Structure 1
Amino acid sequence: MGSGRQTGFVMGKIPPETLLRAVYTNLGKRDKRVLVGPGIGRDSAAVKQDGTILVFTADPITGTPSHIGQHSVEINANDIATTGARPKWYMCTILLPVGTREDSLREITREIHETAKRLGIAVVGGHTEATPGLDRPIISGFMVGETRGRVLSAENGRPGDRILLTKTVGLEGTAILARDKAALLKKKGVPEGLLKLARSYQEQISVVEEALLTAKLKGVHALHDPTEGGVLNGLWEMAEASGLGIEVWAEKIPVAPATNVICLTLGLDPLKLMSSGTLLLAVEPSRRSAVQKALQKTHVRLTEVGRLTSRNTGRVLVKHERRQSLRAVSQDELYKLA
């Protein structure tokens, strides 16, 4: 379903096998300064430039019409920070439905300004237009970061690494559902107090602080922020990028109470729900306690949820003591309600 080869794509990310066939085979001129180029699980590119390393990323916000300015800056900054680079410069294209009023545009740009200022990022340009055929605003962000140190990538995991996870899963998706599906959730009996708590998860979406902190630590081999397809897709991407197997312990993956209630009410799987705000780390086993200690001052929860293995052992999700194959998630749970 949704491979796109014989049928059209479903809403969401293009499947990995299609990217390999139709995208990664068309990459223009080779440049020896490119340190990290496109690939499965690679959210950013890295290029050597005059004694420094520039890191680039691009991401649209299409899953919600609300708070898209904040989402855009934070999601792009997360991708930069998981390489160990500091997010520095942001641009975007804002496409508005014809007839949009100025105050709606001003709200988007105000969110961009405030979020960028909080994260120490300069807004350096972009493009804005009213576009025929749209029923909601669409924003596509582009960000550049900078580092003089090592560049981490999801592909740097090693066999035996423990997979650590920060916070809880499904934070972004929970906040979006509590805003955009509030009427439906209230009709199904979810109280306003829980919806208010769920909407507050919006303020946990940034992983910049914990990513920049842990990227410097010895024994941290790879970082990845799971977005579309949730934590299970992020874990699969880590294994795929590293060319390794993985064993994931489903019962150990933390799910916040509000996420659990909303997903149960709507019949969704929280492990396959947009999870910006969660950071995945591949860490040498002997360095786990050092990572835990470093994160204590940020008050960020840290949970061990699996381990990387050799490729020939496969990719396995252990759930209720049963072992099942871990595969790429074909569509985020959020889009099932679109």
Structure 2
Amino acid sequence: MLPAGKLPTDVLERLLAYTSTAPELHVAAGAGEDAAVAAGAPVIVLTADPITFTEERIGAYVVAVNANDIVAMGGRPVYLTTTLLAPPGTTDTRLEEVFADIGDACRTAGMLWAGGHTEVTPAVNRIVVAGQAVGFLCGAPLATGGASPGDLIGMSKWAGLEGTTLIARERPGESEAVLGGERYRAVLDWLDRPGISIIAEGKALEGLALTSGHDPTEGGIAMGVHEIARRSGCGALLSADRIPVRDETRLLCSRFGLDPLGLLGSGAFLFTAPRVVAREACRRLETAGIPAALIGEMLGRGEQVWIERGGRRELLAYSAQDEIVKL
């Protein structure tokens, strides 16, 4: 077990073997190095996101959520650095599992892990990893606030993807009882298949004239649409029966009293575009084997955000606090 403070040098050197080496990294991660030095680009995309909701498969989560932010801006994720905080008593074996998970996830995402900082501290009661990512941008940025009235709203995969697999991990006994063994194991596998990354969406939609893009994380699809509408100065109207929600998500949300539309949404990509472009976007996604749906339309300036259920229109409820905190 490791005491509070910096890691022993021999342990750190063993762990840093999981970070990246590549020609782009002029100075890679190393025990005693203050920083990495890497090749750049004229325009870069910067983001940062921590993982605080879970410790299991935390490496896969931290890579995906940071890469997704860059893809949602129209960029290509390139570099990742991490700040890992672990409570006293954490074993070096457990840290090695986390390092291996981050390394595997970076290779899958095509990113270079340039190191960061790792420390044991009583400030946390479980492992927390904060990621900071850099991406390269070739064209114009795809901002959240670029939507216009009349644009269609589309999304990939389904609502609550990340939250559903997280519920299954955090509440395994109850989740398996609700879903049954086979579906429970399938939901656990959602983290990798289809995965909570939207890098494949970015590649499929490259060069398409979308007006906005967004990675719906905390607050789910509902919060994501509200953020697009607010940043764009428009209203929006969603059609409830067009929003893809898997039966497994509905069952778990019903069991724990959660709203699927307010559940952690990483893995889905929200976008807006004129009608012809939006339909082409869905066609490209489906061709790439990624489920896609057109779920609504942007309304006029100053309008509110609505959802239509069974022919009846109501305001779309949302909260910056994700439904997962109710567990």
**Which band: TM-score by shorter chain?**
0.7 to 0.9
Verify the 8 A CA contact 1:95 1:139 in the aligned structure 2.
yes
Q: Structure 1 residue aligned with 2:207, among 216, 219, 234? A: 216
Give CA deviations for 1:9-44 in whole Å, capped at 9, x if unaligned.
xxxxxxxxxxxxxxxxxxxxxxxxxxxxxxxxxxxx
Q: Distance in 2 between matches of 1:174 and 1:161?
A: 29
Q: Structure 2 residue aligned with 1:134, among 108, 114, 124? A: 124
- Residue in 2 that maps onto 1:205: 196
SS of 1:66's equivalent?
coil
Is 1:69 the equivalent of 2:59?
yes
Give CA deviations for 1:210-246 in whole Å, capped at 9, x if unaligned.
124314213x111111111111011111111111111
Q: Distance in 1 between matches of 2:226 and 2:234?
A: 10
Q: Distance in 2 between matches of 1:285 and 1:311?
A: 18
Q: Distance in 1 between matches of 2:248 and 2:41?
A: 47
Is 1:112 the equivalent of 2:129?
no
Letter in 2 for 1:157: A
- Residue in 2 that maps onto 1:28: none
- Residue in 2 that maps onto 1:263: 253
Is 1:60 the equivalent of 2:56?
no
Q: Distance in 2 between matches of 1:58 and 1:196?
A: 31
Q: Structure 2 residue aligned with 1:194, among 173, 183, 193? A: 183
Q: Distance in 1 between matches of 2:42 and 2:118?
A: 31
| Distance change in 2, residues 1:152/1:189 (3 Å) | closer
1:32-71 alignment runs, 5 A limit: 52-71=42-61
Is 1:121 the equivalent of 2:111?
yes
Give CA deviations for 1:45-70 in whole Å, capped at 9, x if unaligned.
xxxx9972100000000111111111
Query: C-alpha root-mean-square deviation of aligned residues, in Å?
Result: 1.7
Structure 1 spans left out of the alignment, 5+ residues: 1-48
SS of 1:313's equivalent?
coil
SS of 1:310's equivalent?
strand
Q: Structure 2 residue aligned with 1:331, among 314, 321, 326? A: 321
Q: Distance in 2 between matches of 1:241 and 1:54?
A: 22
Letter in 2 for 1:323: R
Greater Cα shift, 164-173 or 320-329: 320-329
- Residue in 2 that maps onto 1:162: 152
Greater Cα shift, 171-180 or 130-139: 130-139
- Residue in 2 that maps onto 1:249: 239
Verify the 8 A CA contact 1:197 1:258 in the aligned structure 2.
no
Letter in 2 for 1:159: P
- Residue in 2 that maps onto 1:99: 89
- Residue in 2 that maps onto 1:87: 77
SS of 1:52's equivalent?
coil
SS of 2:179's equivalent?
coil
| Distance change in 2, residues 1:92/1:51 (3 Å) | closer
Verify the 8 A CA contact 2:178 2:252 in the aligned structure 1.
no
Verify the 8 A CA contact 1:211 1:223 in the aligned structure 2.
no
Greater Cα shift, 254-263 or 272-281: 254-263
- Residue in 2 that maps onto 1:37: none
Measured after TM superposition, the shift of residue 134 of structure 1 is 2.2
Measured after TM superposition, the shift of residue 252 of structure 1 is 1.4
Verify the 8 A CA contact 1:246 1:315 in the aligned structure 2.
yes
Verify the 8 A CA contact 1:82 1:212 in the aligned structure 2.
no
Measured after TM superposition, the shift of residue 295 of structure 1 is 1.9
Measured after TM superposition, the shift of residue 135 of structure 1 is 2.0
Q: Structure 1 residue aligned with 2:175, among 173, 176, 185? A: 185
Verify the 8 A CA contact 1:175 1:199 in the aligned structure 2.
yes
Letter in 2 for 1:191: G
Verify the 8 A CA contact 1:171 1:276 in the aligned structure 2.
yes
Verify the 8 A CA contact 1:316 1:323 in the aligned structure 2.
yes
SS of 1:251's equivalent?
helix
Q: TM-score, normalised by structure 1?
A: 0.81
Letter in 2 for 1:290: E
Give CA deviations for 1:165-210 in whole Å, capped at 9, x if unaligned.
1111111111111111012334x54322221111111112010111
- Residue in 2 that maps onto 1:321: 311
Verify the 8 A CA contact 2:235 2:302 in the aligned structure 1.
yes
SS of 1:329's equivalent?
coil
Measured after TM superposition, the shift of residue 154 of structure 1 is 0.7
Measured after TM superposition, the shift of residue 82 of structure 1 is 1.1
| Distance change in 2, residues 1:50/1:168 (3 Å) | closer
Q: TM-score, normalised by structure 2?
A: 0.84
Larger Rg over CA atoms: 2
Measured after TM superposition, the shift of residue 83 of structure 1 is 1.2
Q: Distance in 2 between matches of 1:248 and 1:131?
A: 45
